[in-house]
Amino acid sequence: MKLLIIGTGLMGTSFKTLYPEATILGEQDLDITQPERFPAVIDPIAPDMIINCAAYTHVDKAETEPDKTNLINGTAVGYLAAYAASRDIILVHFSTDYIFDGQGSQPYVEDDVPSPINAYGYSKWLGEVALAKHGKNTYMFRIQWIYGKNGGNFVEAIRKKARETGHLDVVNDQWGSPTWSLDLAQKIGYFLQLSATKTTERPPFGIYHVAATGQTNWHDFAREILAQTGIGASLSAISSEAMPRPAKRPTNGRLNCAKFAQYAALPMPWQDGLRHYLRSLAQDSQEA
Ligand SMILES: NC(=O)c1ccc[n+]([C@@H]2O[C@H](COP(=O)([O-])OP(=O)(O)OC[C@H]3O[C@@H](n4cnc5c(N)ncnc54)[C@H](OP(=O)(O)O)[C@@H]3O)[C@@H](O)[C@H]2O)c1
């Protein structure tokens, strides 16, 4: 299968690590808001599958840049979907638990009704609608709380602040599953390989939730980071109300991943994912 990855951030580089033979395009090669460029740039590559990892992901900044956010995360997804449909290319896209309002008491299933509470979530929901409208053979994975190399990273932010200040205040009322990007890419990669088969094992096109096994809140995730890295900093649990940010966050972001699990293993328990990620960093610094 000939693979094209669009976007050179956290998930794009994770897929490229797994599939070194794949073509990867950054924004300077292909701006997804410019559909008139798609034939000239993508036709020569002739991919069987496009994995779209390009997005506007600055959750707080999105509140003051809604037009740009909606263009990249909403309208441009429709452009890509229409292009892929016109060439019979499978399109893989990512959305988020932020399309939900987080008020539910159970982990969200794929059919739950979106009701975003911030500008980023709204833009990602627009992308979901555009994908459904213009796409043909599409897989959309709703993912969450990703960390890894080459992207914004809660783990690194906690380590840095703990070392610099020796104290952390972290919210304990937002719930989800911290997921290591490389493990997520591996599990989705296996799932997508099944899609290349024409057997009954082939997962139907559509929406899938996928996140690390187990759930936690940001405070307990921070505590685990300190424990696994051995950084001696104090840690206090605070409420989201006590730490207002420009964009509201869903309280319950938990995703029910049972549908995905019918076809492929879920990412490992979140504590193990963290351990593997930290080990991979240690290996990198030994090799450097
Ligand atoms: N990270 C998470 O926790 C998380 C959670 C839920 C869902 N997701 C979704 O997962 C997908 C991958 O996210 P990620 O974490 O890998 O994001 P990321 O690290 O921010 O990478 C996104 C990439 O898209 C690029 N980009 C922005 N505008 C573009 C444009 N117009 N054309 C082409 N490329 C453009 C960015 O370039 P610049 O940096 O130069 O702008 C960046 O390299 C996204 O759809 C995101 O919404 C992520």
Per-residue pLDDT tens listing for the chain (288 residues): 899 999 999 999 999 999 999 999 999 999 999 999 999 999 999 999 999 999 999 999 999 999 999 999 999 999 999 999 999 999 999 999 999 999 999 999 999 999 999 999 999 999 999 999 999 999 999 999 999 998 768 999 999 999 999 999 999 999 999 999 999 999 999 999 998 776 777 899 999 999 999 999 999 999 999 999 999 999 999 999 999 999 999 999 999 999 999 999 999 999 999 999 999 998 888 887
Q: Of 29, 53, 58, 69, which is best to mutate to test ligand 1, by the most ligand atoms within 8 angstroms of its C-beta?
A: 53
CA of 73 to the centre of ligand 1 (A): 9
Residue in this structure with the two tokens 């840095």, named with its chain if needed: 160
CA of 8 to the centre of ligand 1 (A): 8
Which of 79, 98, 120, 122 is labelled catalytic? 120
Q: How many CA atoms lie within 13 A of 266 on its CB side?
A: 23
CA of 234 to the centre of ligand 1 (A): 32
Residue in this structure with the two tokens 């997520």, named with its chain if needed: 184
Instruction: Say how far residue 119 (Cα) sits from the centre of its chain.
Output: 17
Active site residue 120: yes
Let me know if domain 3-153+177-214+254-270 sits in CATH 3.40.50.720: yes
Q: What is the token pair recorded at 89?
A: 């290319």
List the helix and strand counts (H, then E) for the chain.
Answer: 10, 12
Biggest CA pair distance of the chain: 56
Please tell me the residue having the least CA distance from ligand 1 atom 21: 9
3-state DSSP call for residue 171?
strand
Rounded-to-integer distance, Cα 153 and Cα 216, Å? 17
pLDDT of residue 201: 75
Angle at the Cα of 18 from the Cα atoms of 79 and 38, rounded to 5 degrees: 20
Closest CA to 83 of 134, 144, 11: 134
Which one-letter DSSP state was computed for residue 63? G
Ligand 1 atom at shortest distance from the alpha carbon of 32: 32
Q: What is the token pair recorded at 59?
A: 């959750």
10 lines ligand 1 (CB under 6 A): yes
